[in-house]
Each structure stands twice: as C-alpha cells, then as structure tokens.
C-alpha cells in the first residue's frame, strides 16, 4: 500500500453517520474538543507531494478515483482561514481526498500575494471541507467565521502518501 498514517492503523473506524448516533466519545475516537467544524467529520485528507503522480487509482484500495472540485477550508499562517475550491481526486470507497501539493500551493500564494513576496513563508493546514451550497451563498454575500465553521466538516484524519524507491509497494521508514 502507498499509505501510512493513523487511518491505515484503524481501517475499521466507524463512518461519521454511525458515530453521530453513539455517545460523544469512545476509546477509539479522537477527542471532539479539537474539532473546528460543526458538521460531522468527513473524508480522509492526503496531500500528494509527487508532481508527476496523479493518483487515478486509490493508493490504499486501488479503486479508480474520481475528479472532484471540493471547497477546502485552509488555515494559512499569518492570514487566517479561507476557502479554496480545488479539484482533487476522491476515492469513493475510502472517502480519501487526495490533494496535489504542486497545484495547491501556487493557488494559495496567488490568493495572498504577501506570502509570495520576498521573506514570505507558506505555512498552511488543510482542515476540512464545507457544504457546497453554503460555499456558493458565501461567495455572494461574504461569510463570517461562525457561518463557515457551522457548515464545515473537519477531515477525519490525514495520511502521508509515499512512493517506495522500487515503485509502488509497502511503505518503509525513510533513512
């Protein structure tokens, strides 16, 4: 598999729709206090650091991924929260969203020229997704932080994508 991370260690995590009917916490869940979005957590986020790897197949389950434009909620250091509608690869089975780093970062820099200026530094975190209808309304009328987080789903977790030196295979610790 081309994936490592907390999700791979817990493949049987319950879906968000099931979790919402259970008590707020169990031993297998992350504390709720760290969440930002009011909506149930959705999707696993994976940042693709390989410029030439398109991930048309899921690195975890090998199912064909779909191209999806998702409104991503991103926190940019020194700027704050913003929403960027970005085409991603989505595995419908794992609900894994794969974001191409080499495409994403120029879009962030283009939105905030101060980051691209000399001495600027790009430091960001992709936190979750937002309800598409709300995002469209927000385009028309502006959107407060409260409105944003009320319609936001945090990512369930993040994973790291790796290509081993001999091609695709089990991930090994790097030297």
| Selected binder of Zn ion within 60, 89, 134, 151 (CB under 5 A) | 60
By CB under 5 A, is residue 161 in contact with Zn ion? no
- The region of 6-14, 25-33, 57-65, 150-158 touching Zn ion under the rule CB under 5 A is 57-65
d(CA 143, CA 132): 13
- The region of 35-43, 49-57, 93-101, 140-148 touching Zn ion under the rule CB under 5 A is 93-101
d(CA 56, CA 123): 27
By CB under 5 A, is residue 156 in contact with Zn ion? no
d(CA 110, CA 135): 20
By CB under 5 A, is residue 61 in contact with Zn ion? yes
Task: Give the number of residues in contact with Zn ion, rule: CB under 5 A.
Answer: 7
Contact letters (x/-) for Zn ion, 95-124, by CB under 5 A? ------------------------------
CB 27, CB 113: distance < 8 Å: no
CB 5, CB 159: distance < 8 Å: yes
What number of other Cβ atoms are within 10 A of residue 83's Cβ? 18
| Selected binder of Zn ion within 91, 97, 126, 161 (CB under 5 A) | 91
CB 86, CB 103: distance < 8 Å: yes
Q: Which residues bind Zn ion (CB under 5 A)?
A: 58, 60-61, 63, 91, 93-94
């Amino acid at each position: 598999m081309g994936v490592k991370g907390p999700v791979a260690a817990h493949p049987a995590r319950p879906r968000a729709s099931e979790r919402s009917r259970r008590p707020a916490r169990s031993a297998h869940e992350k504390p709720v206090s760290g969440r930002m979005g009011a909506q149930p957590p959705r999707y696993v986020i994976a940042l693709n650091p390989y410029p030439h790897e398109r991930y048309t197949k899921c690195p975890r389950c090998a199912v064909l991924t779909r191209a999806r434009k998702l409104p991503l909620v991103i926190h940019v250091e020194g700027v704050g929260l913003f929403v960027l509608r970005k085409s991603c690869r989505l595995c419908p089975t794992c609900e894994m969203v794969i974001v191409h780093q080499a495409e994403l970062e120029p879009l962030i820099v283009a939105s905030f020229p101060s980051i691209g200026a000399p001495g600027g530094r790009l430091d960001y975190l992709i936190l979750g997704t937002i309800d598409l209808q709300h995002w469209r309304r927000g385009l028309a009328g502006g959107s407060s932080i409260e409105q944003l987080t009320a319609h936001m789903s945090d990512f369930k977790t993040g994973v790291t994508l790796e290509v081993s030196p001999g091609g695709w295979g089990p991930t090994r610790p790097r030297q």
